[in-house]
Homo-oligomer: A and B are copies of this chain.
Amino acid sequence: MISFDEASRKVLDYPLNLGDERITLLQGTGRILAEDIEADRDFPPFDRSTKDGIAINFSAIERGIDRFKIEGTLSAGMAQKTLSSDANCFEIMTGAVLPKAADTIIMYEETDIKNEWVTISKTPNKGQNIHSQGSDEKAGAVLLEKGTIITAAVVGVLASVGKSEVLVKKLPKVCVISTGNELVEVSETPLPHQIRKSNTLSLTAALEKASITPARLHLPDDRTIIEKELRKALAEYDVLMISGGVSKGKFDFIPDALEALGVQKVFHRVAQRPGKPFWFGIQSAEQKVVFSFPGNPVSTFANYHVYFLPWLAKTLGIDPKKRSVILDEPVRPHPILTLFLQVKTAWYEGRLHAKLVQGNGSGDLVSLTKSEGFIRVLAGESEISEGNVFWFIPYA
């Protein structure tokens, strides 16, 4: 049995190098950019009006002129015009191109318009109300760096530079595998000694939040079938995420079958609760990784969050922020095991506070729905007083 820290480090020693792929822009949200994105032209691409009003040449103001003849009206989307005289002005709308020979925009609120003439009621400053060409970004500037997470705002920038397709990091192909003869489908009515699958469904939902749509596979407690199905799955997927079948029971064939298929055990069993009988292995030549989680729902859920998600971030080259939380009650650590305890949180004045949620052991999936994340409590001898800070692993 190894420590949680050692297990974490070992898992992060085996990121996959999956390469890149090109996808359409709106498929990109949540994905990781695999290319630098440059401005294809200046931003804004022209001197742009930021107000509705009139465009003038400021030299007229310097010469004492405060009344201008309207030469025409410019709206966004019209090609650039030229102001033919500094005695004239153009009416101009927000987003329109500043006309040549104009350099100042006065908003309607500071003007009085009668027929074709505008009188200004307030002396402008030269250059006001213009969003100058290239003032946000110059053509060729790197707007987004490789490794950026594609958020809604990033989608906006990608759109503005014409990236209707974008190069992103490939996600691993994941197969979520349930094991155990006691499991029946969600749509079935179980016999008294059977239960419905739930782990593979909650793992699937969790993976979809990470933009991964996994395949699902069920293995019966039969060594031959297990080996045959795992062989196929290893050929087809980058990651096998197995739930159940790794404790010490007679029917726990998974570790043996995996090793027979050339998956090398990196470790089995970690000094933690829940999630102790976690088996992690790799097939390094073929770039395959196997997360074999214990069958209990809370154990599987914890290990997904504390091992798989950090591994995925490493594989994709991102470094998510670690959150921390202040526990509003004392907590007793375990002398040997790292604990992952369920908490509910509340914001108070910029601080995130937490209270423990008592689950009913690692089989109690319902308690997970009443809590929002795990705190990590390191092994120790004496009670930790209230108000201490813990690493917080959110899942809601």
Using a CB–CB distance below 8 Å, which chain A residues touch chain B?
25-26, 28-29, 43-46, 48, 50, 52, 73, 75-80, 91, 93-97, 108, 131, 135-137, 143-144, 148-164, 180-183, 185-199, 201-206, 208-209, 221, 244, 247-252, 295, 297, 301, 321-326, 345-353, 360-366, 368-369, 389, 395-396
A39 to B157, CA, bound (A): 48
Contacts of A323 in B (CB 8 A): 347
A50, chain B: closest CB distance, angstroms:
7
CB contact under 8 A between A251 and B26, given known A77-B221, A194-B77, A325-B350: no
User: Which residues of B sit under 8 angstroms from A197, Cβ to Cβ?
Assistant: 159
Which of B25, B79, B251, B389 contacts A191, CB < 8 Å? B79
Q: Which of B151, B183, B252, B361 sits near A205, CB closer than 8 Å?
A: B151
Write out the residue numbers on chain B whose beta carbons fall within 8 Å of the beta carbon of A345.
321
Measured CB to CB, the nearest residue on chain B to A107 is B248
Given contacts A180-B76, A247-B94, A152 and B189 within 8 Å (CB-CB): no
Task: State in angstroms the CA–CA spacing of A75 and B248 once bound together.
Answer: 12
Does the CB pair B221–A75 fall under 8 Å?
yes
User: Quick one: copies of this chain in the complex?
Assistant: 2
User: Which of chain B's residues have a CB closer than 8 A to the CB of A46?
Assistant: 192-193
A345 to B396: give the CA distance in the assembly, Å.
20
CA gap between A352 and B324 in the complex, in Å: 9
Residues of B within 8 A of A196 (CB): 159-162
Q: When A195-B45, A208-B29 are in contact, do A78 and B181 touch as well, CB less than 8 Å?
A: yes
Q: A75 touching B250 by the CB < 8 A rule?
A: yes
Chain B contacts for A353, CB-based, 8 A: 350
B209 near A29 (CB under 8 angstroms)? Answer: yes
Q: Are B369 and A144 in contact (CB under 8 A)?
A: yes
Minimum Cβ distance to chain B for residue A61 (Å): 23
A50-B361, A186-B25, A368-B153 known; A322 vs B295 contact (CB < 8 Å): no
Q: Which residues of B contact A79 (CB under 8 A)?
A: 191-193
- Cα–Cα distance between A350 and B348 once the two chains are bound (Å): 11
The one of B77, B157, B198 that contacts A183, using a Cβ cutoff of 8 Å:
B77
Contacts of A150 in B (CB 8 A): 205
Q: Which of B144, B152, B365 interacts with A157 by CB under 8 Å? A: B365
Residues of B within 8 A of A28 (CB): 205
**In whole Å, how far is A93's beta carbon from the nearest beta carbon of chain B?**
4
A96 to B153, CA, bound (A): 51
Contact B80 A192 (CB under 8 A): yes
Chain B hits for A195, CB < 8 A:
44-45, 160
Within the complex, what minimum Cβ distance (angstroms) separates A97 from chain B?
A: 5
Contact A76 B182 (CB under 8 A): yes
The reply to whether A205 and B52 contact each other, CB–CB distance below 8 Å, is: no
Q: Are A201 and B75 in contact (CB under 8 A)?
A: no
Q: Closest CB-CB distance, A133 to chain B, in whole Å?
A: 10
> How far, in angstroms, from A25 to B202 measured CA to CA in the complex?
10
- Chain B nearest CB from A137 CB (Å) reads 6
Q: Taking A156-B365, A369-B144 as contacts, is the C-beta distance between A250 and B350 under 8 angstroms?
A: no
Given contacts A250-B73, A365-B160, contact A95 B52 (CB under 8 A): no
- A206 contacts which chain B residues (CB < 8 A)? 152
- Shortest Cβ distance from residue A74 to the other chain B in the assembled complex, whole angstroms: 10
Given contacts A29-B209, A153-B395, 6 further A-B contacts (CB under 8 A): A46-B193, A79-B191, A152-B301, A155-B205, A162-B188, A321-B347
